[in-house]
Copies of this chain bind each other. A is one copy, B any other.
Amino acid sequence: MNIKEQLESPPSELTPADRKLVRVLLNNFPTSGLKTIAQLAKDAGVSDPSVLRFIKKIGFSRYSDFQSALVKQLDERLKSPLLMHSKSGGIDDDPWQHTAESTMDAVAGSEPLVIKQDIEQLVEWLSEKNKKVICFGGRFSGFLAGYLHAHLQILRPNTKCITSSLELSDTLLDLKPGDIFIQFDYRRYQQSAAVAVEMAHRKKAKVVLFTDIYDSPLRNKVDLTISSLVDTSSPFDTLVPAMVQVEALVASLTDTLGDSVKDRLMEVDDMRELLGTHYFSNNQQEQ
Contact = CB atoms under 8 A, between A and B. Distances in A.
Given A112-B29, A287-B192, A234 B219 contact: no
B278 A190 contact: yes
B9 A116 contact: yes
Contacts of A150: 139-140, 143
A49 to B, nearest CB: 17
Contacts of A164: 280, 283, 286
A189 to B, nearest CB: 8
Nearest to A195: B278
Interface string A88-122: 00000011111110011001000111111111000
11 contacts: A22-B115, A34-B71, A74-B74, A97-B248, A98-B251, A140-B150, A163-B280, A234-B254, A240-B240, A243-B243, A283-B283
Given A168-B286, A234-B251, A235-B265, 18 more contacts: A9-B116, A10-B117, A23-B214, A26-B113, A28-B75, A81-B82, A95-B252, A96-B119, A96-B249, A99-B251, A100-B244, A143-B150, A143-B285, A165-B278, A191-B276, A192-B287, A232-B247, A235-B251
